[in-house]
């Protein structure tokens, strides 16, 4: 019985290592490595973070950079801000989400970078995630184009920096 339990445990460990990569952190053959995540955060998760994530994902794909962005809010609204949805649609950029989501400690823990466009609650600090603050982004509801241009300029610089770090 003890031999059977040892064999079963060994098989479980071997399967887990094969599925998730080996013990040295390399992906198993044929298993893609997890794409690093950048988390954009604004208070309501409905405008600035949505625009930033959408343009980040578009530019990362165009530049063939293996990164992905998500949008989150510290106090999420029920729906995407109309100015952000309309602006992204007119830019030809998919919004990427249907409803704002609350930032979680798991989002921050998995992130290779967190970009905060609002004050982050204390619960999200101290977990080792690199946090950048973009506190000078104009209001989307006041002027979508001005806000988008400021966000896209910052996103381009961030992508350049992250590509160098890969």
Q: What is the pLDDT of residue 5?
A: 39
Q: What is the pLDDT of residue 157?
A: 97
What is the count of structural domains for the chain?
2
Supply φ then ψ for residue 91, to 5 degrees: -80, -10
Q: What is the pLDDT of residue 130?
A: 86
b/e string for 33-71 if b means 16 or more Cβ within 10 A? Answer: eeebebbbbbbbbbbbbbbbbbbbbbbbeeeebebbbbb
Q: What is the pLDDT of residue 117?
A: 97
**In this structure, are 42 and 8 located in the same domain?**
no
Q: What is the pLDDT of residue 129?
A: 73
**In this structure, are 160 and 86 located in the same domain?**
yes
**In this structure, are 22 and 75 located in the same domain?**
no
Q: Whole domain around residue 62: which residue ranges?
A: 34-165
Per-residue pLDDT of the chain (166 residues; tens, 9 = 90+): 444 333 333 333 333 333 333 333 344 444 446 889 999 999 999 999 999 999 999 999 999 999 999 999 999 999 999 999 999 999 999 887 889 999 999 999 999 999 999 998 887 776 667 899 999 999 999 999 999 999 999 999 999 999 888 7
**In this structure, are 157 and 99 located in the same domain?**
yes
Q: Whole-model pTM?
A: 0.79
Q: Whole-angstrom Cα distance, residue 29 to residue 45?
A: 37
List the structure tokens of 22: 């080996």
Tell me which residue of 146, 147, 158, 68 sits closest to 107, measured CA to CA: 68
CB 73 within 8 A of CB 111: no
**In this structure, are 43 and 8 located in the same domain?**
no
Q: What is the pLDDT of residue 95?
A: 85
Q: Whole-angstrom Cα distance, residue 80 to residue 101?
A: 10
**In this structure, are 73 and 88 located in the same domain?**
yes
Q: What is the pLDDT of residue 165?
A: 81
């Amino acid at each position: 019985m003890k031999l059977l339990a040892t064999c079963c445990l060994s098989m479980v460990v071997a399967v887990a290592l094969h599925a998730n990569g080996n013990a040295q952190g390399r992906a198993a053959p044929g298993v893609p490595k997890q794409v690093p995540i950048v988390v954009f955060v604004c208070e309501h998760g409905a405008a600035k973070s949505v625009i930033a994530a959408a343009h980040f994902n578009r530019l990362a794909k165009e530049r063939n950079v293996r990164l992905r962005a998500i949008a989150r809010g510290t106090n999420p609204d029920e729906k995407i801000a109309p100015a952000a949805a309309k602006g992204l649609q007119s830019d030809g950029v998919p919004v990427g989400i249907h409803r704002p989501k609350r930032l979680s400690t798991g989002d921050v823990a998995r992130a290779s970078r967190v970009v905060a466009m609002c004050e982050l609650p204390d619960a999200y600090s101290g977990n080792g995630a690199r946090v950048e603050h973009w506190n000078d982004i104009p209001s989307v509801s006041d002027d979508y184009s001005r806000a988008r241009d400021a966000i896209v300029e910052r996103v381009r610089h961030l992508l350049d920096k992250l590509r160098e770090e890969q």
